[in-house]
Chains A and B, each alone.
Chain A
């Protein structure tokens, strides 16, 4: 099972994402922003960082990178695609998922361990979790406030498309404490916190993040 991890100029978390893939038992394949070839991967991760320096808007320029064209096409055909943090912003800019990520309501860059509840275990990236399971993984972002109009929010709530919610006080001003959402089909997931930094207790606050990567390996076997 090959999982591609994209590196844009300014990406930071590609190595941890690749390590998480290997730790879960998959094969990681490095994908380059300027190479419009998916090299036969079965799924793709858009990792965190500051692609293109966050110029214009976070993710706005990466979204038009050559590698995004085949990724968007494959994801629209059902290929599992996970966007973490800056990757979530790229997914929103590409309109693969509804809404947008805006500046944290208190303006500060956040970096802390954050509790989440997993609220939808029927996606390609969350099937290893139990419904309502509480997990602890790092959250580090400056523009992580999930915004959408009331109609979209009602649709996401009604269709169970909010896959993870912050527990406790709202860290960044996201509507309805949204930490992650999925598309209608459940193959595309955008997540603001970082599961790739929590795959073993040696390097992370927990091993809770590993479930996202074992989930997609299971999804591809099916």
Chain B
């Protein structure tokens, strides 16, 4: 069954203290690969059958109204098989 995935991330210009804390913890564990870390949210939305274009349009609206705050966050909507 396919699901609709909405990823929400803070806009690049908004400070992300949680991401910074993760970035600072990595080298303490010996992981030295990261130059920066940003933390976001992922929503997995299930619908009956394959998502229809109308459902995807509604998810876009819901993402703008509730799942994200457009003042500080960006979002993407995609279908995952």
Chain A contact residues, CB within 8 Å of chain B: 56-57, 60, 64, 92-93, 95, 98-100, 102-107, 145, 147-149, 173
Contacts and interface: CB of A to CB of B under 8 A. Distances in A.
Contacts of A173: 15, 17
Interface residues of B, number: 12
Interface string B6-18: 0000100111011
Contact of B71 (A56, A100, A103, A107): A100
Contacts of B72: 100, 102, 147
A107 B10 CA distance: 16
B15 A105 contact: yes
B18 A56 contact: no
Contacts of A102: 10, 14-15, 72
B14 A107 contact: no
Contacts of B71: 92, 95, 98-100, 147-148
Contacts of A106: 17
A186 B60 CA distance: 34
A169 to B, nearest CB: 16
Given A102-B15, A145-B15, A173-B15, A107 B21 contact: yes
A57 B21 contact: no
Contacts of B10: 102
Contact of B17 (A95, A107, A148, A149): A107
B27 to A, nearest CB: 18
Nearest to B14: A147
Given A64-B66, A100-B69, A105-B15, 20 more contacts: A56-B66, A92-B69, A95-B71, A99-B71, A100-B72, A102-B10, A102-B14, A102-B15, A102-B72, A106-B17, A107-B17, A107-B21, A145-B15, A147-B14, A147-B15, A147-B71, A147-B72, A148-B71, A173-B15, A173-B17
